[in-house]
Amino acid sequence: MESETGTAPEVVHSEQEWRERLSPEEYRVLRQAGTERPFTGEYVDTKTVGVYACRACGAELFRSETKFESHCGWPSFFTPLAGEAVIERTDDSLGMTRTEVLCARCHGHLGHVFAGEGYDTPTDLRYCINSVSLTLVPEEG
């Protein structure tokens, strides 16, 4: 895990441009590190096969095969599609130390990753991701 983003985002827009490209809720989550209310996101229970891409820039982030039922109220994945697809950094907001997950391409806020919770998955990691940060691209056929 990286503690700092280290690199500049590949996709860069001014805050004004992001506001125009995203809905108010997408902007609040992706650009202001907000969190959608639990059990309200469109992908919480989705089992459709496909790839979840960043809603802000279209980068492929997670595959449906790594999505699992965490019952936490947000879409949960046990690993990103590729290690370099996301950036992980320490988030000390709200009086807690958590690990924030960002899109590596646009540095949009996706959610947080939690480790060692005892889920029966290959990694025991839970990438707890806001639905509003993602766009599901269903697999053909």
In the complex, the residues that contact Zn ion under the rule CB under 5 A are 54, 56-57, 59, 103, 105-106, 108
Q: Alpha carbon of 13 to those of 16, 36, 61, 75: distances in Å? A: 8, 23, 20, 27
Residues marked active site are found at 128
Least Å from the CB of residue 138 to Zn ion: 19
Cβ closest to Zn ion, residue 44 vs residue 57: 57
- Measured between alpha carbons, how far is 54 from 83 in angstroms, rounded to an integer? 15
Asked if residue 128 lies in contact with residue 49, where contact means CB atoms within 8 angstroms, the answer is no
Closest approach, Cβ 108 to Zn ion, in A, equals 4
Helix (H) or strand (E) holding 25, with range, is helix 24-30
Cβ–Cβ < 8 Å for 78, 66: yes
Nearest approach, Cβ of residue 103 and Zn ion (Å): 3
